[in-house]
Structure 1
Amino acid sequence: MIQCTKTREEISLNGDNLCLKQVEQIAKGAAVSIASDVEDKMHASRAFVESVAAGETPVYGVNTGFGYFSRKRIENDKLLELQKNIIVSHASGYGKPLSIPETRVAMCLRLHVLSKGYTGVRYCLCEALLHLIQAEIYPVIPESGSVGASGDLAPLAHLAMPLIGHGEVFYKNQRLPALEALKEEKLPVFELAEKEGLSLINGTQVMLAVGSLALAKACRVALMSDKITALSYEGMEARVDALYPKLHEARGQKGQCSVAARILSELEGSYLMDSHFKAPRVQDSYSLRCAPQVHGPSHDLLAFCRDKVEIELNAATDNPLVFSDEGSIVSGGNFHGQVLGMAFDSACAAVSELGNISERRIELLLNPNSSELPAFLTPYEGTHSGYMAAQYLAASLVNENKGLANPAWTDSIPGNVGVEDHVSMGMNSAKKLRKIVENTVTILSVEALLASQAIDLRISRQLGKGTERIYSLLRERVPKLDTDREIHLDVSRSRQLIEELIADL
């Protein structure tokens, strides 16, 4: 079970101004609280919901059924039962549970959106959810079951169940019935009022939790890919002409210019930058020469996705929404996860391409016809295989990434007898991004391993300030390969280092 790592940060939730960096802090265990102005703005919208509930006019989610049953008016003495039923009936998820950090973020994001004051729930519901977070009672949320249309109905139902004494939780390193954890913490079972069950499960906060954490890491992985490319420049004795700033300024693409500058910065002080150095090739293969032109669009696309996600972090995604200032409750579709599905799938493509081009540099390093080094970077060709099989690992992961990079949002499957006739599949997009990011870290770890081996097989020369750091750190954990050994151990140690370096970016 992945646990949260405590930080000293405290984040005040009010429905506004939450950013991706704070989401990462929440995942690491940052304390959260409810902002002081939240209670007043929630009180106004709640008062309006209660006035509607006491009347005869049908209002969706307050005194009607849900989805196909929205035409059915619910009798007043059944309104509270209705809210409990929507949670237990929609807890239909299956499969591996979300990690504790992902679950914690989902809980805090749901608390955050309830705090906006548009849902019409009582302030005490926010307090009850906060108490679960503070007591580290984390719902068991299966990761499969959301189609991302009325938000993440199934996973959010699993998130909400412990509040009403149902479902399972992770508590003190155990998986146990929610009621047991509530009793140990002396927390009461929450009694839902009108609209509160629906408001707990209508929204995009689970796909947002999974996808935003994956996206935040993806942005750092993209930076790391630039640094490791510089290491491959050293290993391949590549020409730095292709990084010439004016060359990239002539095209004017922001990401491309930034990547070229970043690789150059890593190579500062390297023998490759010496005007007297004669590169072995007039031009290098595209995976080196065109790295800025390939990495750059991935950086740009990830930045675009980040903007969309940070808007959604602070979005009102319930249905209906309560506008107490004008005395209205409006049904709409802010719960639809299309914007996130498209963002996460775009990020999938961006990160997958970074892994794709990294594998091509791996092949260059292993190929004696391109590297002018011993085949597979072994000093003892034939008797020993060197890093031959490392490329198999990279190729396998690249192939997996290419399949995962196919967008989920293009395959809408209608449900609820046609009421929900278009869905986003945004949760699947978020899960794909999470997997692609992890695969790409492994691919980059193989590239770093091989680039360092290539450096060792060449005449000892001065490396760049950035490349020297990565090379030296790697060599503290993985010695130069002479005779054959278990390559998976080299990859594992390289990956551990690359993960640490990514976390520091």
Structure 2
Amino acid sequence: MPDTFFYGTDRLTSSKAIAIARGQLKASLNDEATARVLASQGEVAQIVSTGRTVYGVNTGFGILANKPISEEDTATLQYKILQSHSVGVGEPIAPEVSKLMLITKVQSLAQGYSGVQLSTLQRIIWHIDNDIIPVVPSQGSVGASGDLAPLAHLFLPLIGLGECWVNGEKKKTARVLQQNQLLPIQLGPKEGLALINGTQFILSFAVKAVQRMHNCLEAADIIGAMTLEALTGTNAPFDERLHKLRPYAGNRLVAQRLRLILRDSAIMQSHVDCGRVQDPYSLRCMPQVHGASRTAWFHLKELTETELNAVTDNPIIFSATDTISGGNFHGQPLALPLDYACFAAAEIGNISDRRCYLLLEGKWGLPMLLMKDVGLNSGFMIPQYTTAALVTENKTLCFPASADSIPTSLGQEDHVSMGSISGRKLNQVLDNLENILAIELLSACQAIEFRRPHRSSEVLEFAHDLVRNYVSFAEEDRIFAEDINLVAGLIKDFSFVEKVDAFTAARDIRLNEGYAEFTY
């Protein structure tokens, strides 16, 4: 990753956007982007001075597009649009998502097609660099005409209104600006519209989902392999020759990862002649199921990174005499892949829950409910109730928001994407998936200890020991919620996958070799 990212001229990726948000990558405007911004702002000034009618510069908005606005009112119009469109409701989104909205908006505006002032971009970058992040409600966008309500709230602080997160606390913007000896920005013509037109709310949730879903997919392969070991399953279904006959890249990658994760396992060797013909689908079909979800993730990543480098404003200013009112703000290109990824993430949870159930049945040498003294103890019976509940909750979240459209603006905006809901729902599903995977990992670590003295592969023994640093083997019932939360923490903060990856890299076990496109 480079030392500095230049807005508007460098290509932004999901990982770079996250790195900028976390202060791991410096970002700024270079001379080329600055020149573009200044030139575009000059074109808008010329439009105003000549009186040429351009939507949003000297007209009203939406159904009011045919209402002319006088030259002296063009600046007031932009102030009012931030006020009137700040209608969001619900709990605030996470500050990191708000910060990603700022970053992705700067990337779009800095390309020089929106007519904003350089000082406005510099103020947004000040918010990013100083981690003074606007408070944005979670609900109110229909995902077309831009993410109007959330973006309006995002940019209220530019005009001295709204609230900001400062060191984890909500503070009134007026007070924050005063403390930093700053004055509100005086918006120029078109600026308010440029700020709220765009897909940055949808996009920022997509950026988070690309990161989080990849982590879950990587974890699911490791955890699924540990469950297979505990259940004395076979690695035969992961044979490379089999997957060359149905060569989906996602499937082949998962099969390769499972082969390498399970390599040189003494547990696997201990039952080669057990006489069991086939394993249940949730073990045998991991390449097909996990692989299909990886394909969905790759599609989301690819389209998210197209959007990260797109201009989603309206109208687009090519010059003072060449402007186009189009539909680049429409969220459909992201709404559909977000819904697709939602199904794919839910299915990883679904198959994980099936494996949890298999671990409890008392088959293939494991004690029923993964505890020797059951009756007095319930063992691991009830954690699987939680996976069942979370899986069903995810199913209810799988209705595709993009399948619905409700006309707005008195019918002028008669088809909308609802992609904002798609992005939020996917991240809710990922919340649940992280907990489902944590319960499977906790159960698999318990189960694999019943295979002693046989040892698993070095990768899985490392993963098992990593969990045991936080949670001990359960001889009897205890408050399993505490165990679940500890293990879920390892998944949610990415440390489980990161530490396993570091271990495999140190031993030159290249789990993802040959599949660079599937890396985050």
TM-score of the superposed pair, with normalisation by structure 1: 0.95
The question of whether the paired residues in 2 share the 8 Å contact of 1:26 and 1:104 is answered with: no
Change (3 A) 1:309 1:90: same
Partner residue, 1:492:
485
Does residue 416 (structure 1) correspond to residue 427 (structure 2)? The answer is: no
Moved more, 179-188 or 64-73: 179-188
1-structure distance, mates of 2:207, 2:341: 11
The CA deviation at 1:9 is 5.6
1-structure distance, mates of 2:4, 2:130: 15
Identify which of 239, 256, 261 aligns with 1:244. 239
Aligned residue identity for 2:486:
R
The CA deviation at 1:484 is 1.1
Does residue 81 (structure 1) correspond to residue 87 (structure 2)? The answer is: no
Aligned residue identity for 2:358:
L
Identify which of 460, 485, 501 aligns with 1:467. 460
Identify which of 12, 21, 24 aligns with 1:18. 12
1-structure distance, mates of 2:413, 2:377: 60
Residues 62-121 of structure 1: CA distance to partner in whole angstroms, max 9, x if unpaired? 100000000011111111110100001000011111112111111111111110101111
Aligned residue identity for 1:363:
Y
Identify unmatched segments of 5+ residues in structure 1: 1-6
The CA deviation at 1:132 is 2.0
Does residue 440 (structure 1) correspond to residue 395 (structure 2)? The answer is: no
Partner residue, 2:261:
266
Partner residue, 2:517:
none
Does residue 224 (structure 1) correspond to residue 223 (structure 2)? The answer is: no
Moved more, 387-396 or 373-382: 373-382
The CA deviation at 1:337 is 0.5
Aligned residue identity for 2:410:
V
The question of whether the paired residues in 1 share the 8 Å contact of 2:38 and 2:117 is answered with: yes
2-structure distance, mates of 1:474, 1:130: 40
Partner residue, 1:213:
208
Partner residue, 2:344:
350
The question of whether the paired residues in 2 share the 8 Å contact of 1:12 and 1:32 is answered with: yes
Does residue 304 (structure 1) correspond to residue 299 (structure 2)? The answer is: yes
2-structure distance, mates of 1:143, 1:29: 24
The question of whether the paired residues in 1 share the 8 Å contact of 2:104 and 2:308 is answered with: yes
Aligned residue identity for 2:475:
D
Secondary structure at 1:317's aligned position in 2? coil
The question of whether the paired residues in 1 share the 8 Å contact of 2:79 and 2:187 is answered with: yes
2-structure distance, mates of 1:8, 1:323: 31
Counterpart mapping for 1:47-196 below 5 A:
47-196=42-191
The question of whether the paired residues in 1 share the 8 Å contact of 2:216 and 2:491 is answered with: no
Moved more, 390-399 or 98-107: 98-107
1-structure distance, mates of 2:22, 2:142: 28
TM-score of the superposed pair, with normalisation by structure 2: 0.92
Identify which of 270, 277, 285 aligns with 1:282. 277
Identify which of 355, 366, 371 aligns with 1:373. 366
Change (3 A) 1:347 1:20: same
Secondary structure at 1:251's aligned position in 2? coil
Does residue 317 (structure 1) correspond to residue 289 (structure 2)? The answer is: no
The CA deviation at 1:482 is 1.0
The CA deviation at 1:481 is 1.2
The question of whether the paired residues in 2 share the 8 Å contact of 1:237 and 1:280 is answered with: no
Residues 286-325 of structure 1: CA distance to partner in whole angstroms, max 9, x if unpaired? 000111111111101110110000000010000000113x
2-structure distance, mates of 1:291, 1:131: 47
Partner residue, 1:333:
327
1-structure distance, mates of 2:166, 2:361: 52
Aligned residue identity for 1:165:
G
1-structure distance, mates of 2:344, 2:9: 30
Partner residue, 1:3:
none
Identify which of 442, 445, 448 aligns with 1:452. 445
2-structure distance, mates of 1:173, 1:225: 32
The question of whether the paired residues in 1 share the 8 Å contact of 2:144 and 2:329 is answered with: yes
1-structure distance, mates of 2:401, 2:243: 34
2-structure distance, mates of 1:87, 1:502: 42
Does residue 384 (structure 1) correspond to residue 377 (structure 2)? The answer is: yes
Residues 199-224 of structure 1: CA distance to partner in whole angstroms, max 9, x if unpaired? 01000011211221122210121111
Aligned residue identity for 1:162:
P
Identify unmatched segments of 5+ residues in structure 2: 502-520
The CA deviation at 1:273 is 4.4
The CA deviation at 1:483 is 1.2
Moved more, 489-498 or 395-404: 489-498
Change (3 A) 1:420 1:371: farther
Change (3 A) 1:468 1:275: closer
Partner residue, 1:197:
192
2-structure distance, mates of 1:223, 1:288: 16
How many residues matched?
A: 497
The CA deviation at 1:371 is 4.2
Seq. identity, %: 38
Identify which of 386, 400, 407 aligns with 2:400. 407
Moved more, 255-264 or 38-47: 38-47
Change (3 A) 1:53 1:415: same
1-structure distance, mates of 2:182, 2:105: 19
